[in-house]
Amino acid sequence: MAVIRTNVATSQLARDRYVDGVLALKAEFLGTTTADLGIGGPAQQVSTYDLFTVWHHLAMGRLTPPTQGDRNAAHSGPVFLPWHRLMLVLLELQIQRVLGIDEFALPYWDWAADGDLSAAQQTNTSLWKDTGIGGDGSPVADGPFSGNAYRVRIDSDSTGRLRATDRGLRRDLAGDIATLPTSADVATALRLTDYDTPDWDRTSGGFRNTVEGWPGMPGLHNRVHVWVGGDMAPATSPNDPVFYLNHCNVDRLWEAWLQDHGHTYVPDQNESADLQPHRINDAMYSVLTSQPVTPADVLNVSTFYTYDKLP
């Protein structure tokens, strides 16, 4: 039975279950160590939650041929939306397992609704309260991901290399950009008829690149990362649990677009092999699955989940 993803701002149950699931996965160590992952320094165990952070970082470091520009295995190209959809589904399944709640569904953060508020109000919504996911700070001082309850165990150094650490979570709300995307920005993206266009990169037209945020940088998804700041800025951005609330909303926008456009995706398999893994039947990069999953496999996910409301 498909689970129903709901708005974290309107469902305290969804928020509480999400917090419980994240903390449970952060506390689960199944044997993988930093040495297994090629991370220097004294070997330490890596939690199930942190494996997702490592996967995201590694995906950003896996570059397609140099002639293809800035694309990597998960960003700056067509696979951006399918790859993150796969990541969300796997995290959702892990939280269902660790909580023993089959009907658990990841909540989404409708940041466009917050973006319609004044700049001062955007940093003062219920999400950033102690009863939400806490506010900002270095480290974050309140909420469920503060203090010893939540520790960042793996991040990246100034050269972008993974390293072991032990510190509190960092956020700097509106520190580098004043406002979030708006509902008008979302409406503009949803009106686009092309999913993606050549050169299939940060310069492309179409829905994917507009949602990802490269045109008029930092756009939609990218703008949210920059607005939250702190641990949401580097390739290890899943260190902040708000990462998944952001991407669940991005996925919600894509689902709305797919339902209006017949679950279409480009590029097809006739495009150059240099585009791997961005073509429709290419296996997406994963360190957490043994079976290959392609963009085609995740265009219709109605058997796994639905959203309570599409934009």
Confirm if 46 and 32 have CB atoms less than 8 A apart: yes
Residue-level pLDDT at 65:
58
Q: What is the DSSP code string of 67-92?
A: GGTT-BSSSSSTTHHHHHHHHHHHHH
Spatial separation of the C-alpha atoms in residues 46 and 38, rounded to whole Å: 12
| Cβ contacts of 158 within 8 Å, gap of 6 or more | none
Residue-level pLDDT at 166:
94
Confirm if 186 and 311 have CB atoms less than 8 A apart: yes
What is the Cα gyration radius of the chain?
A: 18
Give the mean pLDDT of 41-64. 90
Beta bridge partners of 154: 164
Residue-level pLDDT at 218:
56
E strands present in the chain:
3-5, 29-33, 45-47, 152-156, 162-167, 305-307
| Alpha carbon 219 to chain centroid, angstroms | 15
Quick one: pLDDT band at residue 62, thresholds 50, 70, 90? confident
Residue with tokens 């709640």: 101
Residue-level pLDDT at 63:
65
Percentages of the chain per state (helix, strand, coil), in multiples of 5 = 40, 10, 50
Confirm if 164 and 200 have CB atoms less than 8 A apart: no
User: Mind listing the domains of the chain with CATH numbers?
Assistant: 3-307 (1.10.1280.10)
Say yes or no to pLDDT of 217 above 60. no
Quick one: pLDDT band at residue 159, thresholds 50, 70, 90? confident
**CA distances in angstroms from 254 to 3, 7, 301, listed in the order given:** 18, 16, 12
Q: Which tens digits make up the pLDDT trace of 86-131?
A: 999 999 999 999 999 999 999 999 999 999 999 999 999 999 999 9
Residue-level pLDDT at 67:
60
Residue with tokens 């310069």: 203
pTM: 0.97
Phi first, then psi: give them for residue 74, nearest 5 degrees. Answer: -145, -5
